[in-house]
Amino acid sequence: MGGRSFYPLFALLLVSLVFIVTGGEQRWAVFVGHILMAVRCAHASRIWIVLGWLGLILGIAGAVLQAFTEVRALRLVSAVLFVLLLFASLPLILRRLVAHSRVTGETVVGALCAYLLIGMDFAMLGVLLSTAEGGAIIASVANPGSAITRSDIYYHSFITMTTVGYGDYVPLTGAAKTLALLEGILGQLFLVTVVARLVSVATFRRIRSEEAAGPSADESRPGA
């Protein structure tokens, strides 16, 4: 596969989620690492690879600077950068999936990668909103006064996208409510669209295989 399989990307996405949810602060290298791998998996042009490496360099620089300073503008710029990179990597993955002429394990794993990227995209948008507004955009129902962390925003994003709706975290601002609404709709539309696409491709391949094999023994007998 030459580094262009979806399997390593899927594994790296899962590692990124675990790293973020458990509160790892030095996460930027892993974060941009899966963006670079997404670019390679999508067979993207050289310009996308250059942008990915640029994001990696800026991400590491931002992580180092944030370790020594709490400048709000720096956090805002870092959040904007990663939102742009994440949203750019999603259509690249979808473009390659649409080009698949048959359903394989690679196709299914690629669809899972795209699904995870949607949740991470909206989580980063939540982080960006929280940074821009200078306060939490979601609140804990069980502990209303508790501080909201980045991992809480990611958790809320995926719970919203999957429409599980535990209700333990709720959006506070109008922008956060709009974001949750869009994510819930987009998550369900993605599942419906991808499942329909996979089924149609698999059905088309089966019909073509049956046509190529010719009529069955029962159908070829006279009077059948």
β-partners of residue 139 are 170
Give which of 204, 185, 181 is closest to 193, Cα–Cα.
185
Three-state DSSP at 139 gives strand
- In this predicted model, what pLDDT tens digit does every residue of 115-160 receive, in sequence order? 998 998 899 899 889 888 888 999 999 888 889 988 899 999 999 9
The predicted model scores a pTM of 0.77
Residue 115 — left, alpha, or beta (φ > 0 → left; ψ -120 to 50 → alpha)? alpha
- In this predicted model, what pLDDT tens digit does every residue of 10-47 receive, in sequence order? 887 887 788 777 765 445 555 555 565 565 555 556 67
The set of residues, in sequence order, having a beta carbon less than 8 Å from that of 175 and lying 6+ positions away, is: 129, 133, 137
